[in-house]
């Protein structure tokens, strides 16, 4: 293994000078610094991460606490987009990411906080988990640099998708198409911040637009739960006055509703209109192309990475804040125009 001593000998300088060049100190010349770094690359030198951690008191490793209901894991398109962006943005600033193991230790079980400290993570990003789990709350209150995605803790930074504006924009779009009988199948747990914000926005926007929303038009189904979404769709279609348009909790669940609609011999959007949420790629390619709210997963991930690294590197000057990221309506062709 190549050492700084080897590089120093090859360049005819001291080990201290090599160290300064590799750590970008300003008390050596640019030409000398460039020559030493090039020599290090040519010799295949890589700094020892353990030694670097001892010197800087950092591991340059971010923990990601991520569990998805229904064990959809990394097949969940929305979170795949967020995490891919988070990983890329972290790597650009010299950090790796490691998932916090939900099972933790089989032989000696550790809490999330104990596991994060055991791994020596510089900071934590919490994504899609039971935020009311006592162990998650313990981690959030630990004082470690933490950023949450789509959930807000007191005295912690968060990056959230603008779910209130997202539902408002979708409902406004459907309203402008002439629909007044609009049903909403929302996420199963109304205590979850995302579900709560979207449902509140649906009722508030309906009221502002003068849309009457019968209780029978509101159903619940788990996110990405095609079976539950299909059952709820059947119940809506069986109503004496069925809706002309149904909003779904996400694009994937929407396809459960589409299957039921197709099984009944109905057409989209001729007989019934449907609207998804998330903007997953497949929804923009299958027919009918799904009208949906495309979330900006790239920005969500980048903002989360930037914020947690700022908390690590500039703790005294980094503002504890909530960063809101807007999405945009993707029109598709699954909503009929009833306005004429």
Tokens 């050492």 sit on residue: 3
Residue of 327, 205, 336 lying closest to 277 (CA atoms): 327
Q: What angle do CA 7, 9, 10 make, to 5 degrees?
A: 65
How many H helices and E strands in the chain? 12, 12
Q: Can you give the pLDDT at residue 108?
A: 61
* Res 169: pLDDT: 97
pLDDT at 71: 46
Extract the tokens encoding 250: 């996400």
Domains of the chain plus CATH, in order, are 4-47 (no CATH), 61-161+298-326 (3.40.50.2300), 163-295 (3.40.50.2300)
- Residue 156 CB partners (closer than 8 Å, separation 6+): 140, 146, 147, 148, 320
User: For residue 19, what pLDDT is reported?
Assistant: 82
Specify the DSSP class assigned to residue 70: G
Q: What is the pLDDT of residue 15?
A: 86
For residue 70, the model assigns a pLDDT of 45
Cβ 248 vs Cβ 195: under 8 Å: no
Q: Of the candidates 111, 178, 143, which has an alpha carbon nearest to the alpha carbon of residue 311?
A: 143
Closest CA to 104 of 143, 144, 133: 133
The answer to whether the CB of 283 falls within 8 A of the CB of 251 is yes
Let me know how long the chain is.
340
At residue 127's C-alpha, the angle toward residues 144 and 306, to 5°, is: 60
Q: What is the pLDDT along the chain (340 residues), one digit of tens a residue?
A: 778 888 899 999 998 888 888 877 778 888 898 999 899 888 888 766 555 555 556 788 999 998 755 444 556 678 888 999 999 999 998 899 998 865 544 456 788 998 898 888 999 999 877 888 899 999 999 999 999 998 888 888 999 999 999 999 999 999 999 999 999 999 987 777 889 999 999 999 999 999 999 999 999 998 889 999 999 999 999 999 999 999 999 999 999 999 999 999 999 999 999 999 999 888 877 888 999 999 999 999 999 999 999 999 999 999 999 999 999 999 999 999 998 7
Provide the H-helix boundaries in the chain. 4-11, 15-22, 30-43, 49-56, 77-92, 112-119, 134-140, 163-176, 193-209, 226-237, 251-263, 297-313
Q: Could you give the C-alpha distances from 306 to 97, 128, 233, in angstroms and in order?
A: 13, 19, 41
**Dihedral of alpha carbons 258, 261, 267, 272, sign:** negative
């Amino acid at each position: 293994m190549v050492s700084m001593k080897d590089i120093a000998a090859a360049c005819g300088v001291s080990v201290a000078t090599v160290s300064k060049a590799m750590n970008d100190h300003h008390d050596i010349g640019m030409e000398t610094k460039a020559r030493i770094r090039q020599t290090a690359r040519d010799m295949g030198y890589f700094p020892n991460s353990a030694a670097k951690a001892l010197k800087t008191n950092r591991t340059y490793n971010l923990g990601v606490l991520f569990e998805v209901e229904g064990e959809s894991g990394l097949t969940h398109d929305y979170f795949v987009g967020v995490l891919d962006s988070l990983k890329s943005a972290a790597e650009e600033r010299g950090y790796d990411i490691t998932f916090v193991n939900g099972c933790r230790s089989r032989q000696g079980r550790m809490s999330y906080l104990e596991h994060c400290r055991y791994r020596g993570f510089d900071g934590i990003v919490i994504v899609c988990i039971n935020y009311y789990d006592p162990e998650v709350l313990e981690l959030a209150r630990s004082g470690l640099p933490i950023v949450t995605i789509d959930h807000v803790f007191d005295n912690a930074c968060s990056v959230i998708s603008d779910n209130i504006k997202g539902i408002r924009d979708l409902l406004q779009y459907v309203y402008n198409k002439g629909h007044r009988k609009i049903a909403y199948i929302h996420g199963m747990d109304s205590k979850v911040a995302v579900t709560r914000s979207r449902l509140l926005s649906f009722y508030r926007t309906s009221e502002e637009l003068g849309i009457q929303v019968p209780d029978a038009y509101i159903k619940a189904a788990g996110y990405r739960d095609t079976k539950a979404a299909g059952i709820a769709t059947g119940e809506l279609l069986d109503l004496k006055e069925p809706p002309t348009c149904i909003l779904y909790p996400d694009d994937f669940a929407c396809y459960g509703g589409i299957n039921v609609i197709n099984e009944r011999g109905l057409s989209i959007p001729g007989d019934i209109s449907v609207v998804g949420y998330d903007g997953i790629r497949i929804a923009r390619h299958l027919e009918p192309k799904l009208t949906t709210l495309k979330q900006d997963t790239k920005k969500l991930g980048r903002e989360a990475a930037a914020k947690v690294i700022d908390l690590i590197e500039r703790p005294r000057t980094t503002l504890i804040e909530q960063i809101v990221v807007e999405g945009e309506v993707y029109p598709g062709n699954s909503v009929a125009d009833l306005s004429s």
